[in-house]
A and B are shown apart, each in its own frame.
Chain A
Amino acid sequence: MALKSETFPIATSDDVVKVRQTVRSWATELKFSLVDQTKFVTATSELARNTLEHGGGGFMTAEIVEQGPRKGIKLIFRDDGPGIPSIEMALKDGYTTGSGMGLGLSGSKRLVNEFDIQSEVGRGTVVTITRWK
């Protein structure tokens, strides 16, 4: 159940910086530890950049969620881009479609508590991540 929900556009590299800072401030509000904050904001940066560069731009919806007594932040990255043909390959360390080390997806998975990815070639991609306090 979401206690708070906001959607942000990801269309420029400035937007990537903005969503990083937004997630940082939400994490601070929920009193995440410094290391957990850093991990989560870094994952945000990776996924936002993916949305911009591979997805052609899209949106990030941020929600504060709760499960029993614990609270967390859930982020949903959505784009209508080309999609990912092989999710299994994409989640392997070192996989990359362009220049670079290709650690965005697989790395982000290790930085969060819950990770889900849905993608359809030609339709787009949705990546959902959650970090609990």
Chain B
Amino acid sequence: MDRIPILKMGDCLLVTIQVDMHDELAMSLQEDLTAQIARHASRGVLIDISSLEIVDSFIGRMLANIAAMSRVLDAQTVLTGMQPAVAITLVELGMSLPGIKTALNVERGMALLREFMGNDAESEEDDGSEE
């Protein structure tokens, strides 16, 4: 069975979802990502969905799960490139994906991740220097 490729960029992981996923593929993405975050101690995850034309409640839940699991592993998740039609449909469906940060495109998404990861690094330094 094919799997969705996960790219490592420094301390971030980058995923581009381009295919119409069937359920098992979505579940394996969830597992793979979590495993990779743990393995590389990644601090950021960027999921680009600019090619996804349909996001139903199952995919929505999967994305929310990924964000929640990442948070538990101390990584920040940003979702980029949502298509207007998809956004309108999700709102109508009643899914607002709370707790997921979003950005218009990958460039903005990376900037947003850097911001969040940068903040955390600063507070770590503070702790260190107090000692």
Which A residues form the contact surface with B (CB < 8 A)?
13-14, 16-17, 20-21, 24, 34-35, 37-39, 41-42, 45-46, 49, 93, 100-101, 103-104, 106-108, 110-111
**Residues 55-113 of B contacting A (Cβ, < 8 Å):** 55-58, 60-61, 83-86, 88-89, 92-95
Q: Are A49 and B58 in contact (CB under 8 A)?
A: yes
Separation of A83 and B56 alpha carbons in the complex (Å): 22
Residue of A nearest to B57 (CB): A103
B20 contacts A by Cβ under 8 Å: yes
Residue from the set A34, A37, A42, A100 with the largest chain B CB neighbour count within 10 Å: A42
Residue from the set B56, B57, B94, B95 with the largest chain A CB neighbour count within 10 Å: B56
Interface of A is mostly: helix
Q: Are A101 and B22 in contact (CB under 8 A)?
A: no
Q: Are A111 and B95 in contact (CB under 8 A)?
A: no
Collect the chain B residues with CB atoms within 8 Å of residue A35's CB. Answer: 84-85, 88-89
Collect the chain A residues with CB atoms within 8 Å of residue B126's CB. Answer: none
Beyond the given pairs A49-B23, A93-B94, A110-B93, 18 more chain A to chain B contacts, judged by CB atoms under 8 angstroms and listed by A's residue number, are A16-B22, A17-B21, A21-B20, A34-B85, A35-B88, A37-B85, A38-B85, A39-B85, A39-B92, A49-B58, A101-B57, A101-B61, A103-B93, A103-B94, A106-B94, A107-B93, A111-B89, A111-B92
